[in-house]
Amino acid sequence: VNALVAIFQQFRAQKKLEALEKLSAGETRVIRQGSEQSIPPFEIVPGDIVKLDQGDRIPADARIINSSNLTINEASLTGESMPAAKDEAGNIGPDVSLTDMRNMVFFGTYVSTGVATVITTATGGRTEIGKIQGTLEELNTGDIPLRRKVNLLAKYLGIAAVILMVVSVLWQVVIYDWLNNLPIDLGFENILRQTQTAITRAMTIMPINIPLLTTIVLLTGVLAMAKKGVIIRDLSAVESLGRVSVICSDKTGTMTRNQMTVKYCWDTHNLYSVKGDGYDPVGGIYLMKGANDTITLEVKEEEVKDIFTWKGLYRLVVCGGINNDSEIIKEEIPDQGEIWKPLGDPTDAALLTMFRKSGIDETAITKKYKIIEEFPFESELKRMSKICKDGKKFVAFVKGATEILLPLCTMVNGKDTPSKFTPDMADRVRKLTTDFASKGYRVISLAYRHMDKVPTGKGARDKTETDLIYLGFACIVDPPREGVKEAVADCHSAGINVIMITGDAAATAKTIAEDLGIFEKNSLVVEGNQVNTISDDDFVRTNVFARVNPDHKQVIVERYQDQNRVVAMTGDGVNDALALAMSDAGIAMGITGTDVAKEAADLVITDDSFASIVSGVHQGRGLFNKIRMMIYFYVAINLFESMIFFGALFFLPSAVPMLTQWQSLYLVVTTHSFPGLALVFDRTSKHAMEDKPRDSQALITRNLGKFMALNVILMTIGAAAVYMLTLTGWGGIVEVYPENLAGFYSTPESFTVPIEAAKATVMLLSVILLVESTIVLSIRRINMPIQRSLRESGTFIFVILLGLIYLAHFLLMYVPLAQEILSPFGLDFYFTPLTSYDWLIVILASLPAIVGVELYKWRFRKRDIDL
């Protein structure tokens, strides 16, 4: 087994390396010996000069030599949804976070806009992504939690079995003969014979079915989760998912769509909502009546069907569509169909999508406004412009940060003609944009101006971007995924704490967390550089971690695990890979997830929906409950039978065996098999999410141990009482009559034991069958009364499998032909038929175990304690 595990781990490590290599696909332009040439990325070495253009995947970590309008999409590395502005200025060092290294570009990220020349500083395993990969391979995940706990349980049971074996040998070899004044036989053959018998008895305490059935439960769980869009890569994650109490989720691409979207726009007169998420042009623009200055009111929306009649809105939308460097294409995703993907800056893509949703003819507009000059976005200026020819005149479209554009505007967009841009209007714009920014929106202001000629020479940009007419603004956000808010609420109702982890600023992260229901009244927002220093009390109150880099994520997971919490980590980027591997259940996104993240994860969500995690947790809890109850069942019945059979050692004459070899086999085939299979194939309860998280609790908790002790004692008392009453005939309660053998194919002379012992054995087997088949019904939903659990879906499985046990018992007891068929093969079970009175005694002896455990369950429910 260890060898197979080692091979599997090596296979996974190799797959991770292959995933890392996939990030390097394509050709890279480098300058060597004074000439430009294209080479495969894996041939790049430190010191190579690399040329980067828009859309390029960066092949290595590198420092910027020179650049123009350079922004990098670093979402897969840092988690930030907005492209990072880069230039040759800036600092690097051990204390500088990745998000603050303005003069560095990193392997595996993309050029959103602009061009650059860079010098390679690190390749392969020495890159920032490579360091994460190296840590993943060094990470020792150790044995799976379920296996550790089963092994611990087996250890205790093994110790008990050894003790009972030693006691059995001492009793048979020394104590029994000494008490009966018989000569003590210490001969080798006698000791060997008694040791073999003791080992056989001791093995009854070991539940040997557990490893196989546990694996079957996990495999059935894998199949069930696959139907829900959750692919299991590591079986241990199924059990961990059922115990999880903390979900640390990356914001970008997991809770949000990682698709910048215009949600609102304002044309200086009216506020509009823009329907539709992502870059799909399906949607529309709606007037929000009575919501000129706020979106907090309940307002009536009216679709803008003919945008040409809304001149202010028309100019705003056209400005955003023309002054744009992005493109949006369709891309085929296996099993998901076509999706819209942006090329270029996501903010530009959001404005272009709004333009297409408006219904304006894009071909006609681009033909009307031919771009003849442009001034690209610069991080210092925070604006960009394009000059277009409009008939015999020219028009400049400008967009940028509100605080930059307002001082450049002298007029404001009017319903028909522009009017003077007054201080009051400027204050109104500032108030509105500040309000939207506080709600987590990225606010882009737009303006334009008409010109008779195009400025040239020095200062042309300043001449163009002055005396502007303010058009309004657009509010852009990376929207939450559908169903995420409801999924978060479901997690909270299940006692699971949802933690948002992001590279975004604290204010933005808090706003989104509040919208999703993650950030609550007493919650805290903590930045990544504080995760090592905040107190345990503050850490527990923290629901949002902002400005986080990969090292911080590692600390976050470790701190939760130090509190004995079972942690699930979701994510899609390379920056998530280490935390995915370290967490108890790493969950990667299937569509947007990088190959490195998928290989590091234990589970992959095929539809990238956070809501699917709730389905996974629901299934995981159901499977974990199955495993616990299956282990409980086998430990309980083995302890019960061990007490009966070891007790017989001290109270029965050695000439009276309690069970024959085939009767013991009968127990194994029936009560040791079919009830366990019923648990394995039982349906997951729809109430599984109502249970409290179990974190790192033992499989058999203290309360469950008390419950088991009562259960075993009551079963033992009932079974032992029936056996002894029948064997001894005490009080005449149970007697052996000739009619007991009516229809029995064997004659009494064929019995190798007294008739009383034969009937006592059958009475005992009947009690065992009844209590062990009933206990499985009681524990399948251990926190429910049995009558309620019988109304749960999946009960028919128990009816069928337990019915087979009763059928076999009936055939062996009342159909002589069944024993006649088996007898020639040496399968003599010696079942004596029981009368209705005998069955009454069997039922009465079984009732305390059935009723007693139900009353004990009721007591725990009244105290609101989960077993």
pLDDT at 509: 84
Residue 626 lies in a domain: no
Q: Which residues have a Cβ under 8 Å from the Cβ of 30 and sit 6 or more positions away?
A: 36, 37, 38, 39, 44, 48, 49, 50, 51
Q: Do residues 585 and 602 make contact, with C-beta atoms less than 8 angstroms apart? A: yes
Distance from C-alpha of 856 to C-alpha of 848, rounded to nearest angstrom: 12
Task: Say yes or no: 666 and 805 in one domain.
Answer: yes
Residue 216 lies in a domain: no
Distance from C-alpha of 228 to C-alpha of 704, rounded to nearest angstrom: 31
Catalytic annotation present for 424:
no
| Cβ neighbour number for residue 487 with a 10 Å cutoff | 25
Residue 212 lies in a domain: no
Residue 221 lies in a domain: no
CA distances (Å), 537 to each of 514, 522, 541, in order? Answer: 21, 12, 7
Q: Is the pLDDT of residue 622 over 80?
A: yes
Task: Say yes or no: 381 and 284 in one domain.
Answer: yes
pLDDT at 340: 87
CA distances (Å), 130 to each of 100, 314, 421, in order? Answer: 19, 48, 53
Q: Is the pLDDT of residue 566 over 80?
A: yes
Domain with 42 in it: what CATH number? 2.70.150.10
306: which 2 tokens?
């003919």
What does the CA dihedral 799, 805, 807, 810 come to, rounded to 10 degrees?
-140
Give the model confidence (pLDDT) of 595-610 as tens digits.
Answer: 777 878 888 887 777 7
| Lowest-confidence segment of 699-703, 828-832, 849-853 by average pLDDT | 828-832
Closest CA to 805 of 645, 667, 642: 667
SS (H, E, C) 799-843: HHHHHHHHHHHHHHHHCHHHHHHHHHHCCCCCCCCCCHHHHHHHH
pLDDT: is 328 or 238 the higher one?
Answer: 328
DSSP secondary structure, 638-649, as one string: HHHHHHHHHHHH
Q: Is the pLDDT of residue 17 over 50?
A: no
pLDDT: is 211 or 362 the higher one?
Answer: 362
Q: Residue 637: which H helix or E strand, with range?
A: helix 610-651
pLDDT at 63: 93
Q: Do residues 153 and 699 make contact, with C-beta atoms less than 8 angstroms apart? A: yes
Domain hosting residue 719, numbered range: 633-862
Give the ranges where 139-290 is alpha helix by DSSP (H). Answer: 145-170, 176-179, 188-202, 210-227, 236-243
3-state secondary structure (DSSP) of residue 382? coil
Q: How confident is the model at residue 31 (pLDDT cuts 50, 70, 90)?
A: very high
Distance from C-alpha of 565 to C-alpha of 560, rounded to nearest angstrom: 6
3-state secondary structure (DSSP) of residue 809? helix
pLDDT at 204: 64
Task: Say yes or no: 560 and 441 in one domain.
Answer: no
675: which 2 tokens?
């009830």
Task: Say yes or no: 755 and 696 in one domain.
Answer: yes
Task: Say yes or no: 17 and 70 in one domain.
Answer: yes
Residue 222 lies in a domain: no
| Lowest-confidence segment of 14-23, 45-54, 149-158, 462-471 by average pLDDT | 14-23
pLDDT at 507: 79
Task: Say yes or no: 416 and 274 in one domain.
Answer: yes
pTM score above 0.85: no
> Long-range contacts for 172-175 (Cβ within 8 Å, ≥24 apart)?
172/197, 172/198, 172/649, 172/654
Residue 623 lies in a domain: no
Domain with 362 in it: what CATH number? 3.40.1110.10
Q: Do residues 794 and 683 make contact, with C-beta atoms less than 8 angstroms apart? A: yes
Give the model confidence (pLDDT) of 434-476 as tens digits.
Answer: 988 888 888 999 999 999 899 888 889 999 999 999 999 999 9
Q: Which amino acid is at 655?
A: A
As a whole-number percent, the residues of the chain with pLDDT over 90 amount to: 26
User: Given 48, 56, 61, 250, which residue is catalytic?
Assistant: 250
DSSP secondary structure, 418-442, as one string: -EE--HHHHHHHHHHHHHHHHTTPE
Closest CA to 263 of 357, 335, 366: 357
Of 112, 135, 158, the residue at which a domain comes to its end is 135
Of 457, 477, 497, the residue at which a domain comes to its end is 477
Cα-atom radius of gyration of the chain, to the nearest Å? 37
Residue 392 lies in a domain: yes
Give the model confidence (pLDDT) of 297-325 as tens digits.
Answer: 567 889 998 898 899 999 999 999 999 98
Closest CA to 684 of 616, 628, 618: 618
Domain with 695 in it: what CATH number? 1.20.1110.10
Q: What is the DSSP letter of 251?
A: I
Distance from C-alpha of 645 to C-alpha of 639, rounded to nearest angstrom: 10
Q: What is the DSSP letter of 380?
A: T
Task: Say yes or no: 652 and 738 in one domain.
Answer: yes
Q: How confident is the model at residue 739 (pLDDT cuts 50, 70, 90)?
A: very low
Give the model confidence (pLDDT) of 520-541 as tens digits.
Answer: 888 899 998 899 899 999 999 9
Distance from C-alpha of 613 to C-alpha of 78, rounded to nearest angstrom: 23
Phi, psi of 654 (to 5 degrees): -65, -20
Average pLDDT of 802-810? 92
pLDDT at 21: 47
3-state secondary structure (DSSP) of residue 654? coil
Phi, psi of 455 (to 5 degrees): -60, 145
Give the model confidence (pLDDT) of 744-777 as tens digits.
Answer: 444 455 545 555 677 888 889 999 999 998 899 9
Give the model confidence (pLDDT) of 485-512 as tens digits.
Answer: 888 888 888 889 999 988 777 877 888 8
359: which 2 tokens?
């219904």
Exposed, middle or buried: residue 370 (CB in 10 Å: 0-12, 13-18, 19+)? exposed
Task: Say yes or no: 494 and 446 in one domain.
Answer: no
Give the model confidence (pLDDT) of 391-444 as tens digits.
Answer: 889 999 999 999 999 999 999 987 778 899 999 999 999 999 998 888 888 899
Give the ranges where 517-609 is alpha helix by DSSP (H). Answer: 536-541, 550-562, 577-582, 595-600
Average pLDDT of 102-106? 90
Domain with 546 in it: what CATH number? 3.40.50.1000
First-to-last C-alpha distance (Å) of the chain: 33
Average pLDDT of 6-27? 50
Of 477, 510, 532, the residue at which a domain comes to its end is 477
Average pLDDT of 189-208? 74
Average pLDDT of 2-14? 46
pLDDT at 830: 75
Q: Do residues 410 and 468 make contact, with C-beta atoms less than 8 angstroms apart? A: yes
3-state secondary structure (DSSP) of residue 379? coil
What does the CA dihedral 112, 115, 116, 121 come to, rounded to 10 degrees?
30
pLDDT at 99: 75
Average pLDDT score over the chain: 82
| Lowest-confidence segment of 66-75, 162-171, 799-808 by average pLDDT | 162-171
Handedness of CA 680, 683, 685, 689 (dihedral sign): positive
Q: Is the pLDDT of residue 76 over 60?
A: yes
Task: Say yes or no: 486 and 473 in one domain.
Answer: no
Q: Is the pLDDT of residue 142 over 60?
A: no
Give the model confidence (pLDDT) of 631-657 as tens digits.
Answer: 889 889 888 988 888 777 776 655 456
pLDDT at 13: 40
Task: Say yes or no: 466 and 325 in one domain.
Answer: yes
Using the structure block, give the residue that is written with the tokens 């079984």. Answer: 846
Q: Is the pLDDT of residue 628 over 50?
A: yes
Q: Is the pLDDT of residue 5 over 50?
A: no
Distance from C-alpha of 130 to C-alpha of 826, rounded to nearest angstrom: 67
Q: Give the CA count within 13 Å in the CB-facing half-sphere of 107.
A: 30
pLDDT at 695: 65
> Long-range contacts for 650-658 (Cβ within 8 Å, ≥24 apart)?
650/171, 651/724, 654/172, 654/176, 656/727, 656/753, 656/754, 656/757, 657/753, 658/723, 658/761, 658/764
Task: Say yes or no: 97 and 145 in one domain.
Answer: no
Q: Is the pLDDT of residue 385 over 80?
A: yes
pLDDT at 538: 92
pLDDT at 741: 43
Characterize 624-655 residue by residue with b for buried, 16 or more Cβ atoms within 10 angstroms of its Cβ, and e for exposed.
bbbbbbbbbbbbbbbbbbbbbbbebbeebeee
Q: Which of 85-89, 288-292, 524-528, 757-761 has the highest mean pLDDT?
A: 524-528
Task: Say yes or no: 752 and 782 in one domain.
Answer: yes
Strand segments (E) across 600-660: 603-605
Residue 613 lies in a domain: no
Using the structure block, give the residue that is written with the tokens 């009390």. Answer: 537
Give the model confidence (pLDDT) of 662-694 as tens digits.
Answer: 787 888 888 888 998 898 888 888 887 777 777
In the chain, the number of structural domains is 5
pLDDT at 293: 59
Give the model confidence (pLDDT) of 320-370 as tens digits.
Answer: 999 998 889 887 766 566 788 888 888 999 999 999 999 999 999 989 999
